[in-house]
């Protein structure tokens, strides 16, 4: 039996729920905020060149980069939640084999993804909309961030999930934060100091790739140091878990990966619909989609803290504590959601001016932001329950809820609302879709509660 740090056991089993949740969630929330800044850093610094072709070339890569997140979710969330459940069930040695399996599968999938991008880079970028003028910039960025950087990027996100799943949220949050901060410092160094003028995009790509290599190295060293006090293993000797555990990884990991893909598709549709109303509405909605990410990322961090607690206590049979984790984390998320609504409603014009000074764009974007932000508490409730079902191993229900939110409600309603209400219909879709999805999610959860009560 693998020796497990007693403090980590206590976090899952005996600490008061608020203390345990914040112990695991606060580092992840902080990390998510750094990720938000990190995601804007390259665009911000490249924007300092005043070259729209460079900005456009980098922007093209977003859908491709999100594929990295799908692989990380597949093995990081799929494996991480299973590790927590196996720990809760007292199956530490099985958890060890799952961590090793997901580690090497993440490397293999990232390597294949990297090779595919290398051989088909131009074709893929052309499909995404690269022109003769933007292609060279898109290729520079893609080569660094995906071809050279896919493996460390995917591994970093996967290993971060592993650490969180066994109670080392501070180490996971520190690694994520460190990477974002390093990237913010390396961007201007490579863009404006080391490389000559005209190679700013290449410099941004190198900075991003190097920061991910540093994060990955940190996570590898950290997990190696914890090999005698955790169920995390990087040894190839432990590569083969049971068929049931392999199924469990994909049962939860696939819904997590699909959710990112559908989220990406929805944003692409919003951009396409908004582009039909001219450059100013398109610019306004583009800024709004970035500005609204702050409360969303905080909510994601809160859910990341909730998941290992819920998973562990579900598998250990402590359903009372599992419910308390779910209810308290939901309460905190909803309160923060409504607080965010109030802040955005009051300061929407000031938030818009941070990104752009054009008065028409600010005025239109203010109206859009005030409409979109009303969805915040309902949006949190939706993905909170999806993450909960992932945590307790109900991958089918997580997939159903995650897919229904986009395929049944959000995407069809985008076209319907846009047809009847024009541009404002696009921005009001989110709140309408998420209110309906909350109702569906609560019905599904009530069924789960009934099943738990019958089993007791």
- One domain for residues 149 and 262: no
- pLDDT score recorded for residue 1: 45
Q: What is the pLDDT of residue 6?
A: 62
Tokens matching residue 119: 């051989």
What's the mean pLDDT in 118-123? 92
Q: Which of 146-150, 238-242, 294-298, 418-422 has the weakest average pLDDT?
A: 238-242
Q: Are residues 305 and 327 in the same domain?
A: yes
Indicate whether 136 belongs to any domain.
yes
Among 208, 241, 274, the domain boundary falls at 241
Query: Taking the CB of residue 317, how many other CB atoms lie within 10 A of it?
Result: 13
For the residues 138-153, what does the mean pLDDT come to? 92
pLDDT at position 365 over 50: yes
Q: Give the span between the Cα atoms of 38 and 43, in whole angstroms.
A: 10
Nearest-angstrom CA–CA distance, 303 and 295: 12
Tell me: do 276 and 165 sit in the same domain.
no
CB atoms under 10 Å from CB of 407, counted, come to 14
Last residue of a domain, one of 206, 241, 276: 241
Q: What is the pLDDT of residue 456?
A: 64
| Average predicted confidence (pLDDT) for the chain | 87
246 lies in a domain?
Answer: no
Cβ neighbours of residue 63 closer than 8 Å, sequence gap 6 or more:
128, 264, 268
- The answer to whether residues 183 and 151 belong to one domain is yes
pLDDT tens digits, 269-292: 887 788 788 777 877 777 787 788
> What is the structure's pLDDT at 278?
76
Mean pLDDT across 347-362:
82
Cα separation, 277 vs 106, in Å, equals: 42
Specify whether the CB–CB gap between 252 and 82 falls below 8 A.
yes
What is the pLDDT confidence band of residue 335, given thresholds at 50, 70 and 90? very high
Residue 152: what pLDDT?
Answer: 94
Least confident window among 18-22, 112-116, 451-455: 451-455
- One domain for residues 159 and 185: yes
**Helices in 5-149 by DSSP H: which ranges?**
6-13, 17-47, 52-59, 62-72, 78-88, 92-127, 135-142
- Residues 235 and 370 placed together within one structural domain of the fold: no
In a domain, residue 228? The reply is yes
Residue that is last in its domain, among 241, 261, 292: 241
Domain residue limits at 183: 1-241
Give every CB contact of residue 190 below 8 A, 6+ residues apart in sequence.
202, 203, 204, 206, 207
């Amino acid at each position: 039996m693998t020796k497990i740090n007693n403090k980590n056991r206590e976090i899952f089993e005996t600490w008061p729920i608020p203390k345990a949740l914040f112990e695991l969630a606060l580092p992840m929330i902080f990390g998510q905020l750094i990720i938000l800044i990190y995601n804007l850093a390259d665009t911000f610094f490249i924007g300092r060149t005043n070259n729209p072709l460079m900005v456009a070339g980098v922007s093209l890569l977003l859908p491709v980069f999100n594929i990295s997140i799908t692989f990380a979710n597949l093995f990081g969330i799929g494996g991480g939640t299973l590790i927590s459940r196996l720990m809760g069930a007292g199956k530490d040695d099985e958890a060890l084999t799952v961590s090793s399996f997901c580690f090497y599968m993440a490397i293999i999938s990232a390597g294949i993804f990297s090779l595919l991008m290398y051989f088909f880079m131009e074709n893929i970028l052309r499909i995404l909309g690269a022109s003769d003028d933007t292609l060279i910039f898109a290729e520079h960025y893609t080569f660094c961030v995906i071809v050279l950087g896919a493996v460390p990027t995917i591994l970093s996100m996967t290993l971060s999930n592993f650490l969180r799943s066994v109670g080392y949220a501070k180490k996971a949050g520190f690694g994520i934060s460190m990477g974002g901060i390093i990237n913010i410092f390396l961007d201007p160094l490579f863009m404006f100091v080391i490389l000559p003028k005209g190679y700013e995009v290449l410099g941004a790509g190198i900075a991003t790739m190097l920061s991910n290599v540093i994060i990955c190295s940190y996570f590898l060293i950290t997990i190696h140091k914890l090999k005698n006090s955790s169920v995390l293993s990087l040894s190839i000797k432990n590569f083969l878990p049971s068929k049931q555990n392999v199924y469990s990884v994909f049962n939860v990991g696939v819904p997590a990966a699909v959710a990112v893909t559908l989220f990406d598709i929805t944003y692409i549709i919003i951009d396409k619909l908004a582009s039909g109303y001219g450059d100013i509405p398109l610019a306004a909605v583009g800024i709004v989609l970035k500005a609204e990410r702050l409360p969303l990322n905080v909510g994601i961090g809160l859910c990341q803290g909730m998941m290992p607690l819920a998973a562990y206590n579900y598998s250990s049979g402590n359903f009372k504590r599992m419910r308390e984790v779910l209810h308290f984390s939901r309460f905190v998320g909803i309160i923060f959601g409504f607080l965010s609504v109030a802040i955005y409603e009051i300061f929407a014009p000031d938030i818009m001016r941070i990104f752009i000074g054009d008065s028409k764009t600010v005025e239109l974007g203010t109206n859009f932001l005030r409409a979109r932000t009303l969805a915040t508490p309902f949006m949190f409730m939706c993905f909170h329950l999806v993450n909960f079902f992932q945590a307790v191993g109900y991958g089918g229900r997580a997939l159903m809820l995650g897919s229904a939110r986009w395929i049944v409600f959000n995407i069809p309603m985008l076209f319907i609302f846009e047809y009847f209400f024009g541009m404002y219909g696009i921005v009001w879709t989110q709140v309408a879709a998420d209110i309906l999805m909350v109702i569906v999610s609560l019905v599904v959860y009530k069924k789960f509660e009934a099943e738990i009560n019958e089993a007791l």
